[in-house]
Amino acid sequence: MVKLIKNSGLIFFFLWMVAGYGHAALPVADGNGQNLPTLAPMLEKATPAVVNIATRGRVRIRENPLFNDPFFRRFFDLPQQPRERITQSLGSGVVVDADKGYILTNNHVIDKAEEIEVTLRDGRKLKAKLVGSDAATDVAVIQVKPERLTELPLSDSDKLRVGDFVIAIGNPFGLGQTVTSGIVSALGRAGLGIEGYEDFIQTDASINPGNSGGALVNLRGELVGINTAIFSQSGGNIGIGFAIPINMAHEVMAQLITHGRVERGVLGVQVQDLTPELAQAFAIPEQRGVVISAVIPGSAAEKAGLKTGDIIIAINGRTVDDSMDVRNTIGLIRVGSHVELKVLRDGKERVIRATISEEQHAELEGEKLHPYLEGAVLGDIGENSPLYERVKGVVVVDVAPGSRAWRAGLRKGDVITSANRRPVGSLKQLRKAVDRKGSLLLNVQRGNVALFLLLR
């Protein structure tokens, strides 16, 4: 009994500290005259800025060619098949600019939507228009009439630490607005295959279907992230949720508002993480930064004077820890913008300034390589591709249904990693590996599955 009282006291003291840290006022008293810790005052200010988003759209149904054959339909007395179906989705959003009516949400919440309706905490329903969206970061901006809106102040997500308390606000399962609490479990989560650009905040605050696009806030009621996804084998929450850091989302939002899309540029380097062994080889006392393993000829990097073996330790004043930092930072810088890189060369620091250039996509019609590839469009994996530096190969950009390549089993998004048992990492290498007169054995990566296709 004594132990239980001690634990209760510790818990009460802990919660009191949390409430104090969050600047959440305490109620006057409970029935016994004791103060109770609560986050309610903070949430009363924050929750009106989180909205429910309902969308409605149409998607075309893929038809079986037999259903278009009048004889087949008449013989089997088949009714006319619908060519489209109505889609509906529910999600959440966050008002970030009350004066202009801008709301941040996820791209997958409003993807293919023809109608977007926003429901505010006070029950008002407003029609929204799409300002712009970016599938690579899963960020979208919509706009409503700026009438009596409440906005959330933005925090600096770069200052988040593992262990910080956070609250997720959203509309899970369409039940209505709910609040869940937890901590920041990890930072800089990447390589999950969820989005093209990943730098997620991981949290154990419950994020469920319908929470997507909602707010992750700190105990001051400041927006630190946009709730995006969960890791689950059952579809339910198991304490592993992911949010887009607000600093990244805000940079994307600025481009979407100004240009309607994100105009990504490239630096033109291939980089790898700096391991302890490489740090020793380069005579670097601290293991920080990334090593430039290749500089693309004619790229912005080459023009700026970057060299193979340079170690990038900072970009625009922000420390670089790994190759994902480089990709995320450069990927959010608009074409034509200037970037300042701090690099180590021969053990000495130097600052190099470059102008971000537009990515050049190398694509080729498959039949120009081999007649059995007729109908396929092949391309090199560019810096802005989520596959960049993860897979070496040639990507299948498109395949015409019914074409020779289609009948052989090639599909859009496949990555050809070898041809006739020769590894290929580019269109140039694929061209050398292909014999136009013989059959073609391709090793293909499709998602997490690898398979061989014999074209003959």
In three-state secondary structure terms, 358 is: strand
Q: What is the pLDDT of residue 18?
A: 40
CATH number corresponding to 265-358:
2.30.42.10
Cβ 113 vs Cβ 57: under 8 Å: yes
In three-state secondary structure terms, 231 is: coil
What is the DSSP code string of 146-214? -SS---PPB--GGG--TT-EEEEEE-GGGS--EEEEEEEEEEEE--SSSSSS--EEEE-S---TT-TT-
Is 259 marked active-site? no
Cβ 12 vs Cβ 53: under 8 Å: no
pLDDT band of residue 25 (cuts 50, 70, 90) is very low
Is 108 marked active-site? yes
Element (H, E) at 291: strand 290-295
CATH topology of domain 41-60+84-262: Thrombin, subunit H (2.40.10)
The arithmetic mean of pLDDT across residues 260-279, rounded, is 84
Cβ 345 vs Cβ 369: under 8 Å: no
Measured distance between the N- and C-terminal CA atoms of the chain, rounded to whole angstroms: 80
* pLDDT tens, position by position, 354-397: 988 876 656 778 887 888 898 898 988 876 677 777 788 899 98
Of the residues 108, 157, 185, 299, only one is catalytic, namely 108
Cα–Cα dist 231/233, whole Å: 7
Q: How many CB atoms lie within 10 A of CB 88?
A: 10
Which residues of the chain form CATH 2.30.42.10?
265-358, 363-455
The arithmetic mean of pLDDT across residues 117-139, rounded, is 91
Query: DSSP class of residue 264?
Result: B
The arithmetic mean of pLDDT across residues 280-297, rounded, is 82
Higher pLDDT, 154 or 10: 154
Which residues of the chain form CATH 2.40.10.120?
41-60+84-262
Share of the chain above pLDDT 90, in %: 31
CATH topology of domain 363-455: Pdz3 Domain (2.30.42)
Of the residues 138, 310, 325, 380, only one is catalytic, namely 138
Cβ 182 vs Cβ 131: under 8 Å: no
pLDDT at 340 over 60: yes
Closest to 223 (Cα-Cα) out of 198, 241, 248: 248
Cβ 58 vs Cβ 64: under 8 Å: no
Q: What is the pLDDT of residue 23?
A: 43
Of the residues 133, 212, 299, 418, only one is catalytic, namely 212
Q: pTM surpassing 0.75?
A: no
Is 338 marked active-site? no
Query: DSSP class of residue 322?
Result: S
Cα–Cα dist 70/53, whole Å: 42
In order of 15, 28, 70, 203, 420, the CA distances from 424 in angstroms are 58, 71, 46, 39, 10
In order of 114, 143, 150, 195, 263, the CA distances from 132 in angstroms are 13, 10, 21, 17, 12
Q: What is the pLDDT of residue 14?
A: 35
Q: How many CB atoms lie within 10 A of CB 437?
A: 6
Share of the chain above pLDDT 70, in %: 80
* pLDDT tens, position by position, 186-229: 998 876 666 667 789 999 888 877 788 999 999 999 999 999 88
Q: Which of 26-40, 66-80, 258-272 has the lowest mean pLDDT?
A: 66-80
Torsional class of 289: left (φ above 0), alpha (ψ -120 to 50), beta (otherwise):
left
The arithmetic mean of pLDDT across residues 328-345, rounded, is 86
